Structure 1
């Protein structure tokens, strides 16, 4: 099977912004799940390119749900019927209910949202209970800028 890194390099759809290190980690985490009928939630989808990439990498996924606070994400439409986008603050009740109405539980949850610690914690408290047993919860871009070596 084609690797996630190769799919990323060949991707010609919407812009997909991922650190190359993440791609290798995601391959390690999800390689064994590629052929399963899983459900994925990504908080923070920006241009929607990552949803296209996940759709290619996870051909048997049932639901690929993205949520973004940017109203422009309401114009994102995909040919793949497995992809849904909820526009709103993932931590607001309306967006949470919309996400839950699409799928009650998720096998993979990726928080690539605001990156503000308070929001990350709130998202975790809201969405971790929706994680399927044996599922994976990932928080992206948690940088250690408070350490001298990262300033």
Structure 2
């Protein structure tokens, strides 16, 4: 029986390389990525592992997509193919990340599924998020590591990605702040929305201008 979600259907019928995913991720992927299918886009995935997800993204996004996989394991270099390129390096190394950005150019979809340590996640977001196009999507997953000591996480611990994401919800609303500590910046101007799920945060980019409000209709009561 065909499933409503082509990504989950691919996963459940996978005859290719190994894919390891939390099952609730598939609905999130499809919700935010469907609009890019069949288009000439640039997709970047951090975390190649066995290469199965690169095959899945190729099947999902279509032949017009250019796909880049990033991994620290040199064995992954052989997992590329037509229109799919694998770059080897440490995602916590910001200089390496800049070389990635120089290679990929502007990005439509970025999937952060790399090493999952706080240093790796924060470096990747800081360097790569500005490279995501207007109307593009940055999805970072496996954020349960923000609560795991062995990855540098912990509940309410400073410098976790979830702490950063929570702070960025304030930045999303900076237009309305009267406090000099919270001012409109590039994130405010280029981020249309943030979506929080179990272990995933999705950032949707766009051109954002200062909100305004209007009134229509006839007043019934005096102020």
| TM-score of the pair, normalised by structure 2 | 0.60
Aligned to 2:189: none
1:85 CA displacement: 0.3
Question: Which 10-residue stretch deviates more, 58-67 or 86-95?
Answer: 86-95
RMSD: 1.9
Given that 2:37 and 2:60 are in contact with CA atoms closer than 8 Å, whether structure 1 keeps it comes out as: yes
Cα distance in 1 between the residues matched to 2:76 and 2:143: 23
Gaps of 5+ in 1: none
Per-residue CA deviations over 1:83-138 (Å, capped at 9, x if unaligned) read 100011134324541x2343211111111111111221111011011101011111
Cα distance in 2 between the residues matched to 1:45 and 1:114: 10
**Residue 33 (structure 2) pairs with residue 17 (structure 1):** no
1:36 CA displacement: 2.0
Aligned to 1:87: 88
Q: Which has more radius of gyration? A: 2
**Residue 44 (structure 2) pairs with residue 41 (structure 1):** yes
Gaps of 5+ in 2: 149-153, 156-223
The residue correspondences of 1:94-109 to structure 2 (distance < 5 A) are: 94=96, 96-97=98-99, 99-109=100-110
How many residue pairs get matched? 144
Cα distance in 2 between the residues matched to 1:118 and 1:88: 14
Which structure's relative contact order is higher, taking Cα pairs within 8 Å and 6+ residues apart?
1
